[in-house]
């Protein structure tokens, strides 16, 4: 026992003197391993490693320890000291072996870093001080992050609310502009407060935000091509595409300033349910020596031939393009060899295209084509005159002839009509169906007439040609649009006032409240080459139609830059195209009400009367200019209504629906919108035709001032 006690004490003293850095940890490690007999310092050749080596041994993986335990016997417990004495028979390790053992021990357990340059108390406090400093820093960062997340969520919620408000009408199908702008103002104000970290803004800053919000418009307030569709837009439902031939006159294409027909063609090209072709008298290939139906069949066969050649051309063009790209790659590689700096530059992408050349139209097929069939042949006005009527026959190959008429001054529509060939007759103004094309009147002129389908197809505009701008971009308060003359009393009154101001040396037409957008006239100059070498069909953006497009763009810009558009519905009280064009352009209407769409138009139109003088007209316009918030809401309401009902896209969808109704057996009159039969005159003068209950005693003003009594009629 004494030997054992002395051995233990010797071990303790040796352990305490081994190293100062590990002296505090040794008792704990020794207690974890249990009691182990350790040699005295003089037994340097003992198998038992020093205390710090035993700790290093603890870091050796378990499987390594197990392998070593199988190769060598386990060291004895502390109660048996005979193992220590018997081990003295082992030979002492060589110096090189001791060096290797020491190197191994130092590699397994590197010495801890020394803090001898610090006082002992400071070394122990350093981690606590660092932790104490880190906790408030982390707290500040966390608070900042939480605040940022809160602001982001609030901003997104406001943005989402604004987006929903700008795209969703209310229960009445109307977007309240004041509510929308109030939401935008709150959004900007809250954003400014968050950015400046203020609870309240300076009154001047709030006023600036309020002024900015006063001219804020929904994101879709603009061209449909740039701003996208509005929630009110007419969107055609998906259907099987129908093929439409727009039967037009080439001379009319060249000479008519009014682009009405080709606005419809442009809209049909964009319509998802329509395949478009344009052709007719004067276009290349039309033959006056055969009937209309034969010409249409020839055109269908010609189109089938073109489409077949396009398919072959597409395959050949793709092969030619690949060959071109291979040649381009080879040329680029040669160029790289000459220019060292361009070695790593990839060849530029090529837009190489093989232009398509239509085959010659040197043969004609007068039979129905099995692959290309026109569902609708749509024509306008009177491209065929009275002498051409034998040429105009009913179509076959299951094609429907649709003729659109309008502007029936002096009852000329009845003279321009093709009753022997039409399946569907369209009028631009609803009252014409009842007052001109009523069944009794038609049978009186054409006793053998077989009833077809008559439909109202109102004047429209294209939302990519006529679109609004912010109010700040409007340069003019009120402008008059259109040709003047006795047929347009309101325009005539304003024009007379402008002429009076211009001719008076003491006055100027700039003093007038209502200015004038100059009318471009009704003719355009066409190069002679366009007449001698006619085109085969209409091409979007063709050089020949450049002047027409420029006139249309100028007209749209004039409406877009005016706050109020002034014109009238004429003596016939028609919903002329200017209504749709101004509404789509965000220009408030100032006009008399036509006899269709009356209920809707009355909600967002500044009412004028044909009998008013210039003081009354300007006074009415000024009252609305003095209330800009009301004016803005009227512009938005008109825009929404036009986008839903008065775009050419909706017009085409309506004609497709009428064609389906006709094929299903419908005959009669189709009225898509409400209208009223009221006093009107079909031309100026006291001898103009009017409904039988109306007469004029004081010129053309006041058509409804007098009711014809039965005694007067007799």
428 Cβ contact partners less than 8 Å away, ≥ 6 residues apart? 404, 405, 406, 407, 457, 458, 459, 574
Q: Averaging pLDDT over each range in 133-142, 344-353, 456-465, 684-693, which range is the top one? A: 456-465
Q: Where are the domains of the chain?
A: 1-70, 144-216, 243-456, 471-668, 679-714
Q: What is the pLDDT of residue 370?
A: 93
For 242-258, b where at least 16 C-beta lie within 10 A, e where not — what string? bbbbbbbbbebbbebee
Q: What is the pLDDT of residue 399?
A: 98
Higher pLDDT residue, 116 or 439?
Answer: 439
Q: What pTM value is reported for the model?
A: 0.72
Q: What is the pLDDT of residue 95?
A: 57
Residue 108 has pLDDT above 50, yes or no: no
pLDDT in tens, 594-651: 999 999 999 999 999 998 999 999 999 999 999 999 999 999 999 999 999 999 999 9
Whole-angstrom Cα distance, residue 395 to residue 291?
10
| 8 Å CB contact between 348 and 336 | no
Q: What is the pLDDT of residue 628?
A: 94
Q: What is the pLDDT of residue 464?
A: 97
CA 189-194-200 angle, to 5 degrees, is 55
Q: What is the pLDDT of residue 475?
A: 95
Q: What is the pLDDT of residue 270?
A: 97
Q: Mean pLDDT across the stretch 347-365? A: 69
Q: What is the pLDDT of residue 261?
A: 96
Higher pLDDT residue, 673 or 124?
Answer: 673
Mean pLDDT of the chain: 79
Residue 572 has pLDDT above 60, yes or no: yes
User: Could you tell me where the DSSP H helices lie in 626-667?
Assistant: 628-645, 648-663
- Enclosing H/E stretch for 32: helix 26-33
Q: In which region does residue 473 sit, left (phi positive, over 0), alpha (psi from -120 to 50) or beta (all else)?
A: alpha
Q: What is the pLDDT of residue 40?
A: 43
- Enclosing H/E stretch for 225: helix 224-227
Residue 562 has pLDDT above 70, yes or no: yes
Residue 497 has pLDDT above 70, yes or no: yes
Q: What is the pLDDT of residue 490?
A: 95
Higher pLDDT residue, 658 or 72?
Answer: 658
Task: Specify the range with the lowest mean pLDDT, choosing from 84-98, 196-210, 553-567.
Answer: 84-98
pLDDT band at 372 (very low <50, low <70, confident <90, very high): very high
Whole-angstrom Cα distance, residue 20 to residue 14?
12
Q: What is the pLDDT of residue 267?
A: 97
Separation in Å, CA 708 to CA 148, 435, 691, 693: 77, 18, 10, 5
Q: Mean pLDDT across the stretch 210-219? A: 84
User: Dihedrals φ, ψ of 454, to 5°?
Assistant: -110, 135
Residue 83 has pLDDT above 90, yes or no: no
Whole-angstrom Cα distance, residue 578 to residue 558?
12
pLDDT band at 100 (very low <50, low <70, confident <90, very high): low
Q: Mean pLDDT across the stretch 462-487? A: 94
Q: In which region does residue 402 sit, left (phi positive, over 0), alpha (psi from -120 to 50) or beta (all else)?
A: beta
287 Cβ contact partners less than 8 Å away, ≥ 6 residues apart? 294, 295, 298, 364
pLDDT band at 506 (very low <50, low <70, confident <90, very high): confident
CA 113-114-115 angle, to 5 degrees, is 120
Contacts 24+ apart (CB under 8 A), 661-670: 661/453, 662/400, 662/423, 662/424, 662/452, 662/453, 663/400, 666/453, 667/451, 667/452, 667/453, 668/451, 668/453, 668/454, 669/433, 669/434, 669/454, 669/455, 670/453, 670/454, 670/455, 670/456
- Enclosing H/E stretch for 6: helix 2-18
Higher pLDDT residue, 12 or 335?
Answer: 335
Task: Specify the range with the lowest mean pLDDT, choosing from 132-141, 272-281, 349-358.
Answer: 349-358
| Cα-based torsion angle of the residue sequence 118, 122, 123, 126 in order, rounded to the nearest 10 degrees | -130
Q: Mean pLDDT across the stretch 530-551? A: 92
pLDDT in tens, 148-158: 888 777 766 66
Asked whether the CA dihedral 363, 364, 365, 369 is positive or negative, the reply is positive
Q: What is the pLDDT of residue 58?
A: 45
pLDDT in tens, 316-330: 666 666 666 676 666
Record the tokens describing residue 263, joined without a space.
């606005």
Residue labelled with tokens 């004067």 = 282
Residue 712 has pLDDT above 70, yes or no: no
DSSP state, 118? S
pLDDT band at 295 (very low <50, low <70, confident <90, very high): very high
Q: Averaging pLDDT over each range in 22-36, 39-53, 63-77, 275-289, which range is the top one? A: 275-289
Residue 262 has pLDDT above 70, yes or no: yes
As a whole number of angstroms, the longest Cα–Cα distance in the chain is: 157
Above pLDDT 90, what percent of the chain? 48
Residue 544 has pLDDT above 50, yes or no: yes
CATH class of 471-668: alpha beta
Q: What is the pLDDT of residue 42?
A: 42
Separation in Å, CA 607 to CA 220, 253, 594: 28, 36, 11
Task: Specify the range with the lowest mean pLDDT, choosing from 193-202, 540-549, 653-662.
Answer: 193-202
């Amino acid at each position: 026992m004494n030997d054992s006690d002395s051995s233990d004490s010797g071990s303790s003293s040796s352990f305490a003197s081994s190293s100062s850095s590990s002296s505090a940890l040794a008792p704990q490690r020794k207690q974890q391993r249990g009691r182990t007999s350790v040699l005295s310092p003089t037994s340097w050749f003992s198998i038992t490693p020093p205390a710090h080596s035993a700790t290093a041994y603890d870091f050796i993986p378990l499987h390594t320890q197990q392998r070593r335990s199988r190769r060598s016997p386990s060291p004895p417990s502390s109660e048996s000291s005979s193992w220590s004495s018997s081990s003295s028979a082992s030979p002492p390790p060589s110096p090189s072996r001791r060096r290797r053992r020491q190197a191994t021990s130092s590699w397994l357990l590197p010495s801890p870093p020394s803090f001898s340059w610090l006082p002992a108390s400071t070394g122990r406090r350093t981690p606590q001080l660092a932790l104490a400093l880190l906790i408030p820093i982390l707290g500040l960062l966390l608070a900042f992050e939480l605040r940022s997340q809160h602001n982001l969520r609030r901003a997104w919620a406001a943005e989402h609310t604004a987006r929903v408000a700008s795209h969703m009408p209310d229960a009445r199908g109307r977007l309240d502009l004041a509510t929308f702008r109030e939401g935008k103002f709150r959004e900007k104000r809250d954003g400014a407060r968050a950015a400046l970290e203020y609870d309240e803004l300076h009154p001047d800053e709030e006023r600036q935000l309020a002024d900015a919000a006063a001219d804020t418009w929904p994101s879709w307030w603009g061209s449909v091509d740039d701003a996208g569709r509005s929630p009110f837009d007419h969107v055609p439902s998906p259907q099987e595409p129908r093929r439409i031939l727009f039967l037009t006159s080439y001379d009319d294409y060249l000479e008519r300033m009014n682009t009405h027909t080709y606005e419809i063609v442009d809209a049909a090209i964009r319509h998802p349910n329509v395949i478009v072709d344009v052709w007719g008298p004067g276009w290349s290939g039309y033959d006056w020596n055969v009937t209309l139906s034969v010409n249409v069949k020839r055109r269908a066969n010609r189109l089938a031939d073109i489409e077949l050649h396009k398919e072959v051309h597409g395959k050949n063009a793709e092969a030619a393009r690949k060959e071109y790209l291979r040649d381009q790659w080879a040329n680029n590689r040669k160029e790289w060899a000459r220019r060292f700096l361009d070695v790593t530059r990839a060849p530029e992408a090529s837009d190489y295209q093989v232009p398509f050349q239509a085959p010659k139209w040197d043969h004609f097929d007068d039979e129905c084509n099995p692959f290309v069939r026109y569902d609708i042949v749509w024509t306008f006005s009177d491209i065929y005159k009275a002498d051409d009527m034998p040429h105009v026959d009913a179509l076959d190959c299951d094609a429907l002839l649709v003729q659109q008429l309008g502007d029936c001054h002096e009852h000329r529509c009845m003279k321009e009509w093709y009753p022997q060939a039409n399946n569907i007759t369209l009028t631009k103004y609803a009252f014409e169906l009842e007052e001109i094309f009523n069944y009794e009147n038609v049978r009186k002129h054409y006793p053998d007439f077989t009833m077809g389908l008559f439909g109202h197809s109102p004047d429209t505009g294209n939302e990519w040609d006529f679109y609004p701008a912010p109010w700040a971009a409007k340069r003019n308060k009120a402008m008059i649009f259109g040709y003047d003359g006795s047929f347009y009393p309101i325009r005539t009154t304003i024009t007379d006032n402008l002429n009076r101001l211009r001719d008076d040396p003491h006055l100027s037409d700039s003093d007038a409240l209502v200015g004038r957008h100059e009318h471009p006239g009704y003719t355009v100059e066409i190069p002679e080459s366009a007449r001698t070498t006619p085109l085969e069909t209409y091409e979007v953006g063709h050089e020949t139609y450049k002047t027409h497009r420029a006139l249309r763009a100028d007209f749209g810009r004039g409406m877009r830059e005016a706050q109020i558009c002034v014109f009238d519905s004429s003596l016939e009280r028609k919903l002329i195209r200017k209504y749709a064009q101004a509404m789509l352009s965000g220009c408030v209407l100032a006009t008399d009400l036509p006899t269709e769409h009356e209920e809707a138009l009355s909600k967002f139109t500044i009412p004028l009367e044909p009998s008013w003088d210039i003081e009354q007209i300007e006074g009415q316009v000024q009252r609305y200019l003095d209330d800009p918030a009301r004016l803005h809401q009227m512009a938005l309401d008109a825009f929404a209504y036009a986008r839903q009902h008065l775009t050419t896209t909706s017009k085409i969808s309506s004609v497709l629906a009428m064609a389906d109704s006709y094929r299903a057996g419908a005959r009669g009159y189709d009225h898509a919108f409400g209208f009223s039969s009221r006093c009107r005159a079909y031309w100026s003068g006291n001898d103009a035709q009017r409904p039988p209950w109306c007469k004029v005693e004081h010129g053309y003003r006041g058509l409804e001032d007098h009711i014809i009594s039965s005694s007067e009629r007799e």
